[in-house]
Amino acid sequence: MDVNKLNKTEWQAGISLASVYVLRMLGLFMVIPVLAVAALEYPDYSPLWVGLAVGGYGLTQAICQIPMGLLSDSWGRKPVIYIGLILFALGSLIAGLADSMWLLTIGRIMQGSGAIAAAVMALASDATRESQRTKIMALIGISIGFSFYLALLLGPIVAASLGLSGIFLMTAILAILCVPLVHFGVQLPENLQASGDSLPKTKSLWSLYKHHHLWRLNLSVLVIHMLVTCFFVQVPVQLINMSVPLSEHWIVYTIVLSVSVLALIVMINLSDKLPVSTSASIALLCLAVSFVILLTNANNWTGIVIAGIFFFAGFNFLEAKMPSMVSAICPPGQKGSAMGLYASHQFFGAFLGGLVSGLLNSFFSPQYTFIMCLVVIFLLSLTMKGLANIERIKRVTLMLGDTGVTMNTNASILNELRGLAGVKEALIDDIDDAIYLKVDAKLFDIEQAKQIIKH
């Protein structure tokens, strides 16, 4: 077997789990570009209910993200994923059959309780060799971005044909289809060596929460997801007010997403030559320009398209860049905890965006929401200036197994590993029976590290 290539079982697991993400995220996101418009048909419609319905899933996603990941350690990955998918399907069913905004919102909140992201990532880690995990994680990451784009385009089309309830009922079916994908598509090796770096650890959460760089990234992802929710609470309604029917909104989003992807490529290339804080500031500037255009050209079709391009250029860049920054900054062996906190802030931002925009729309005109977004972007830009340059590093996990490493040899092994060329940080975790390293890939020799832990 070629250790540098994915084997058949790993390909099957990767494609199955990526498909689970696509199907689940499609159901979660297809309603975002249409809900603010379709909600007008409910008898208890109000701007606040719209905001809560759009962002409601984020509240329970934020609350359940880490606990569900921890449960998968004791109950098993697949059982927790099945439970999450069933909760998600039930929430979709409630929302699909709802005849009021409050029941629709309850359905959205229940959808969010099926928070299986950590368990899915851990299962992907369990099903693959350490040398191939990066490829599987990249495949899943691409599927998440793809599903978001696809949902924005399909949402208006499906809603025009089947209505909002049709989207939710379709979502319930897609969630159930994910169960056999996980059950039959992911086969775990007999000599399973799970990566303890992929799941949250309660003992490290508080130190990570206070980390002088990580809190800035957590706050950043909270804000940008608050902004994207605000965007979709306002823009679909503005398009309707301009006599653009819901069935044609996909045309606007196709133009916006196509051009913004090209802008994203340019920004990623530029970011390789710029300090982290500078490239982040450029992305925030794009977001600010977007809301300035919406503030001054609210009833102009061209203005909305240009605003959307600027918004998604900045949003896509930060969404793609920040997870790798979190991974690079967090201490070795604590990636699962850091990403769990990051995801919780991400989803809470979606909820906060729905709540705040709903409240503002209840008492003021939409322009006040755009002004609030501009103020928040300005404050965030000050926060992100505190980010130091982040080195381009690689994370390496070495499983100890039967190497004979004991508590008495930990200190000497750590000292030797830290003395190797390219090693930035090293940690031995006796519970996970693993060594976690952060290294400069150009200088680090993994064979030397393996020799150290074997002798």
Q: Is the pLDDT of residue 454 over 50?
A: yes
Number of H helices, E strands in the chain: 16, 3
Q: Is the pLDDT of residue 375 over 90?
A: yes
Instruction: Write down the pLDDT at residue 72.
Output: 84
Instruction: Write down the pLDDT at residue 126.
Output: 81
Taking the CB of residue 234, how many other CB atoms lie within 10 A of it?
23
Higher pLDDT, residue 104 or 194: 104
pLDDT average, residue stretch 137-166? 86
Highest mean pLDDT among 279-288, 421-430, 443-452: 279-288
> Residue 100 phi/psi, 5° resolution?
-150, 160
Which helix (H) or strand (E) is 39 found in, with range? none
Q: Which two tokens stand for residue 19?
A: 């498909």
Instruction: Write down the pLDDT at residue 407.
Output: 46
How many whole angstroms separate alpha carbon 221 and alpha carbon 215?
10
Instruction: Write down the pLDDT at residue 253.
Output: 92
Domain positions in the chain: 1-184, 205-390, 394-454
CATH class of 205-390: mainly alpha
How many whole angstroms separate alpha carbon 231 and alpha carbon 307?
10
What is the signed CA dihedral for 206, 207, 212, 214, rounded to 10 degrees?
-70
* Sign of torsion over alpha carbons 435, 440, 441, 443: negative
Decide if 41 contacts 184 (C-beta within 8 A).
Answer: no
Q: Is the pLDDT of residue 364 over 60?
A: yes
pTM (2 d.p.): 0.82
Higher pLDDT, residue 73 or 222: 222
Instruction: Write down the pLDDT at residue 110.
Output: 95
* CATH number listed for the domain at residues 394-454: 3.30.70.100
> Residue 114 phi/psi, 5° resolution?
-85, 60
Q: What is the mean pLDDT of the chain?
A: 84
Question: What amino acid is encoded at 80 in this protein?
Answer: V
Please tell me if the domain spanning 1-184 has the same topology as the one spanning 205-390.
yes
How many whole angstroms separate alpha carbon 26 and alpha carbon 443?
41
Q: Is the pLDDT of residue 109 over 60?
A: yes
DSSP assignment of 386-436 equals TPPPPP--EEEEEE-TTS---TTTHHHHHHHHHTSTTEEEEEEETTTTEEE
pLDDT by residue (tens digit) across 179-188?
999 999 888 7
Instruction: Write down the pLDDT at residue 167.
Output: 93
Higher pLDDT, residue 205 or 390: 205
Sorting pLDDT into bands at 50, 70 and 90, what band is 124? confident
Instruction: Write down the pLDDT at residue 140.
Output: 80
> Residue 436 phi/psi, 5° resolution?
-110, 130
| CATH superfamily ID and name for 1-184 | MFS general substrate transporter like domains (1.20.1250.20)
SS3 7: coil
How many whole angstroms separate alpha carbon 202 and alpha carbon 213?
19
pLDDT average, residue stretch 308-312? 94
Burial of residue 66, with CB atoms counted within 10 A of its CB: 0-12 exposed, 13-18 middle, 19 or more buried: buried
> Residue 390 phi/psi, 5° resolution?
-100, 125
Q: Is the pLDDT of residue 101 over 70?
A: yes
Instruction: Write down the pLDDT at residue 49.
Output: 94
- Could you tell me which residues are beta bridge partners of residue 426? 437
